[in-house]
Structure 1
Amino acid sequence: MTDRTILIEPLTKEAFAPFGQIITTEDAHHYPINSGMTERFHDLARVELGGVHARPLISIFRGQPYALPLTLSLVERHPLGSQAFIPLSPRPWLSIVAPDLSGVPGRPRAFLVPPGMGINVAMNTWHGVLTALEAQSDFLVVDRGGDGSNLEEHTFGTPYQVIQPA
């Protein structure tokens, strides 16, 4: 293992907090609606929209699976809005995020997101591309549309290797 190796971590609210929120019904505020036939899990993530003429977008992304170990050479961030990924397929997937170090990404972290759980990447947070595992997977994505440039990419001079812990 080298200093360019990233071990995949289990996803917890505390570990992911510097990068955004986990989207899960576990411990969420909830209450019945629709004459008691539906349970609403309320306000699970903070949708952030910066700039003028901003509007939320709801899309479906269909991701092809990545194999491990994964070579991580590119991360991106969205300076004008958050980006939520909610899986529609019952499979685990990876969320790769990195702290910001004066405008460039710091050392990335990789989180294994269990089936049925989503994440909301905070505005201006470096993150990897959608990383499905095992099979093609669909995700409901909520992010920002509107005026302004909302994509910044960074290519690492030396890629990282993302691996499963032993």
Structure 2
Amino acid sequence: MTAAAFAGFGEVVEVPEQGGRLINSGTAWRFDDVADLALDKNGGRALLSLFRVQPARLPLRCTGLERHPVSSQLFLPIGGRPFLVVVAHGRDAPDPATLRVFVTNGHQGVNYAPGTWHHPAIALDTVTDFLVLGRADARPDDNCDELPFPGEAVVEIS
């Protein structure tokens, strides 16, 4: 998964090859602003969650996607496990013709741009924990649209 290939859907989040600053008496490198977060529009606030995701059965039958129209949503795997990312473009509904599938290297996360259609987190091989930075809303349904595909898409890894 590369930043360039994923750019139309959001950002790949990983430790940059350059930059950062040494902190904590030289025991840690700090990298700031590794993602463009959009969480506070119209009074929302940041919400940090842990997700524990069961491994998917492959081939994966993708029957629909979700999006968060007013905020970004960031997923970082804990433990170095690769995971699957399924995204699509579409204004009012996901367009199956634009469906894209990415496999992370286990050290990459993703930050979905506001309005990006995506599949819920997809673990591979084993249970995978994620840190998820999303948006807390007074009414959660105001920032999560879930729509089915016409038919289904089958995702295989070869």
Q: Give the TM-score taking structure 2 as reference length.
A: 0.92
Where do residues 56-71 of structure 1 align in structure 2 (5 Å cutoff)? 56-71=46-61
Where do residues 102-141 of structure 1 align in structure 2 (5 Å cutoff)? 102-106=91-95, 107-141=98-132
Rounded to whole Å, the distance in 1 between the matches of 2:126 and 2:157 is 17
Out of 123, 130, 147, the position equivalent to 2:138 is: 147
Q: Which runs of 5+ in 2 are unaligned?
A: none
Rounded to whole Å, the distance in 1 between the matches of 2:136 and 2:62 is 27
Shift of 1:97: 0.7
Q: Secondary structure at the match of 1:105?
A: coil
Rounded to whole Å, the distance in 2 between the matches of 1:46 and 1:76 is 20
Percent identity (aligned)? 38
Could you say which structure has the higher strand fraction? Answer: 1
Letter of the 2:26 partner, please give it.
Answer: G
Where do residues 151-166 of structure 1 align in structure 2 (5 Å cutoff)? 151-165=144-158
Partner of 1:34: 24
Q: Secondary structure at the match of 1:97?
A: strand
Letter of the 1:104 partner, please give it.
Answer: A
- Residue 56 of structure 2 contacts residue 125 of structure 2 at CA under 8 Å; is this kept in 1? yes
Rounded to whole Å, the distance in 2 between the matches of 1:15 and 1:23 is 13
Rounded to whole Å, the distance in 1 between the matches of 2:137 and 2:127 is 29
Compared with structure 1, are the counterparts of its residues 138 and 32 closer, same or farther at alpha carbon in structure 2 (3 Å cutoff)?
same
- Residue 16 of structure 2 contacts residue 31 of structure 2 at CA under 8 Å; is this kept in 1? no
What is the count of residue pairs matched by the alignment?
A: 154
Superposed CA deviations along residues 103-141 of structure 1, whole A, max 9, x for unmatched, are: 111221110011121110111110001100101110000
Could you say which structure has the higher helix fraction? Answer: 2
Letter of the 1:117 partner, please give it.
Answer: Q
Letter of the 2:151 partner, please give it.
Answer: T
Shift of 1:93: 0.6
Q: Which runs of 5+ in 1 are unaligned?
A: 1-10
Rounded to whole Å, the distance in 2 between the matches of 1:164 and 1:154 is 24
- Residue 59 of structure 1 contacts residue 141 of structure 1 at CA under 8 Å; is this kept in 2? yes
Shift of 1:72: 0.3
Runs of 4 or more above 6 Å deviation: none
Shift of 1:50: 4.9
- Residue 50 of structure 2 contacts residue 132 of structure 2 at CA under 8 Å; is this kept in 1? yes
Q: Secondary structure at the match of 2:51?
A: strand
Shift of 1:44: 0.7
Rounded to whole Å, the distance in 1 between the matches of 2:149 and 2:40 is 27
Out of 14, 21, 25, the position equivalent to 2:11 is: 21
- Residue 29 of structure 1 contacts residue 42 of structure 1 at CA under 8 Å; is this kept in 2? no
Partner of 1:4: none
Shift of 1:70: 0.7
